[in-house]
Amino acid sequence: MMDDHILGQVASLWRYPVKSMRGENLNTAFIGYSGVYGDRLYAFKSSKSPDFFPYFTARDTQDMLRYTPRFRSADAAQQPVNWAVAETTSVGITPLYPELENMMLDVETPSGESFAINDPDLCKQLQAPAGEDHQVSLTHSARAMTDCRPLSLISEQTVTQLSEETGIDIDPRRFRANLYLSLKSPDSKQTGFAENSLVGQTLKIGPKVIISIVEKDPRCEMVMFDPDTGESNPAILRNITQAHQRNAGVYAAVLVEGMVTSGDSITLIA
């Protein structure tokens, strides 16, 4: 018998090791209170950016989207080092996050060069297209440096609807979500923006993770940029703004940590 509370499943799972660089499609990931493990651990800052948002991103140079970061140790980047023990104990062990030297990255540039994430020459290469009137520097954190909430979600159906509304074949990666969802409405029809109705609700993802959907995701110009070429198409953001009050997708807070796998069910629990 179908569980009436099952809303759909995780269509794909993503993290972005470096803010504004290419994402990584994962089969399985640890989702903690601060978001997807290994997400946005590194970012670049610009000396001319405001204090409230110091980051140097694809808004400054769209070519940044074409840089590909890769963790040197896939095992260290998968989950907290003590998670296997923490998950099986009843005494509430806190998941331990690794030292950043164990989460080192190499970054492949659009031309095929490779730099360590902390190589000063990488900063110089990123800075060059934006001019010499500022300095680009690397920053890092043990937790995700997200713009708003720790977890972002959008349904495949929403992306499909936006494609139909604009007449543009929109790549879902433009939205840089952590979880892409496959949702169905109660009458089994596929409907875009169904995730909006989940704001204020609590969901269980897979066997353990519990999240609270806290708000709609107000979009910025990042959705205009093609993830492969960096080319801008303002019609996409214009449509989201005019037809959907600039919102597409939702943000969530994590209430219970755990592992999530692509294909996991999404269950409404409150």
Asked whether 158 and 248 are in contact (CB, 8 A), the reply is yes
Range of the domain at 88: 6-268
Cα(221)–Cα(58) distance, rounded to whole angstroms? 9
In terms of Cα–Cα distance, which of 14, 18, 33 is closest to 256?
Answer: 33
pLDDT in tens, the chain (270 residues): 344 589 999 999 999 999 999 999 999 999 999 999 999 999 999 988 888 889 999 999 999 999 999 999 988 888 887 777 777 776 667 777 777 788 999 999 999 999 999 999 999 999 887 777 789 999 998 888 888 889 999 999 999 999 999 999 999 999 999 999 999 766 556 689 999 999 999 999 999 999 999 999 999 999 999 999 999 999 999 999 999 999 999 999 999 999 999 999 999 996
| pTM for this entry | 0.91
Residue 136 forms part of a structural domain: yes
Asked whether 261 and 30 are in contact (CB, 8 A), the reply is no
In terms of Cα–Cα distance, which of 174, 227, 17 is closest to 107?
Answer: 17
Residue 16 forms part of a structural domain: yes
Cα(16)–Cα(151) distance, rounded to whole angstroms? 12
Residue 183 forms part of a structural domain: yes
Please give the angle made by the CA atoms of 103, 109 and 110, to the nearest 5 degrees: 145
Cα(13)–Cα(50) distance, rounded to whole angstroms? 31
Give the DSSP letter string of 21-80: S--EEESEEEEETTEETTTT-EEEEETTS-TTS-EE-TTT-GGGGG-EEEES-TTTTTS-
User: What total of structural domains would you count in the chain?
Assistant: 1
Output the domain CATH number for residue 173. Answer: 2.40.33.20
Residue 161 forms part of a structural domain: yes
Cα(222)–Cα(25) distance, rounded to whole angstroms? 19
Which residue do the tokens 């990123």 mark?
126
In terms of Cα–Cα distance, which of 23, 22, 6, 21 is closest to 179?
Answer: 23
Residue 74 forms part of a structural domain: yes
φ/ψ region of 112 (left if φ > 0, alpha if ψ in -120 to 50, else beta) reads left
pLDDT for 2: 45
Cα(178)–Cα(194) distance, rounded to whole angstroms? 17
φ/ψ region of 205 (left if φ > 0, alpha if ψ in -120 to 50, else beta) reads beta
Residue 26 forms part of a structural domain: yes
pLDDT for 1: 38
pLDDT for 189: 61
**Residue 153 identity (one-letter amino acid):** L
Residue 126 forms part of a structural domain: yes
Asked whether 109 and 125 are in contact (CB, 8 A), the reply is yes
In terms of Cα–Cα distance, which of 108, 68, 63, 67 is closest to 226?
Answer: 63
- Residue 87 tokens read as 């998950």
Helix or strand or coil: residue 186?
coil
pLDDT for 114: 97
Residue 1 forms part of a structural domain: no
Please list the residues that pair with 106 across neighbouring strands. 70, 116
Q: What are phi and psi of 210, to 5 degrees?
A: -125, 130
